[in-house]
Amino acid sequence: MIELNIKKDYIEKTKEYLKNLRVKLTKKDMLKDEIEILKERQSLNDGIEYGCSIQNSSYKSIADLIESYDTQITHREAQIDKIDFSMRMYEIYSRELTDTEKNIINLRYLKNKRKNGSFEYIAEKLKYSKSQVARMHDEAIEKLAFYIYGEEATYV
């Protein structure tokens, strides 16, 4: 492998970037659940006749309540689009990784919701030694740091 000579702070930034992607993926799942709940509540309110005088200080009418649900749904869908964009960018950055490197990064950072993303766990799952996994992980992180941050991440 070509030595990329990546600065240590960019290695750490890349690891943080990957951890933040995991948080975004978790948030995306929550947003989808929230949208479903809002749609259910919205459909319940669609069944109420507009002539009813159910009002409180926040809403002038049922029509306002339904519009508020639409706004909340749209806002959450926009957040999901932003997360999807982040994932598409990650997919671009990770194109040059080998399949094994991608698997290691995914298991360590992206798919480890509550599972242990340790090198030991990954080594067992992928049938490599712990030291091989650690080495491939480090190489993958260096590649990602270079693809994400460019030449500013390297010592010249």
Q: Which ranges of the chain have pLDDT less than 50?
A: 49-51, 53
Res 68: pLDDT: 84
Q: Which amino acid is at 143?
A: K
Pair 38, 73: CB distance under 8 Å: yes
Res 117: pLDDT: 83
Res 51: pLDDT: 47
pTM of the entire predicted model: 0.78
Stated length of the chain:
156
Sequence spans of domains, the chain: 8-153
- Three-class secondary structure of residue 96 per DSSP: coil
Residue 120, C-beta contacts closer than 8 angstroms, at least 6 positions apart: 130
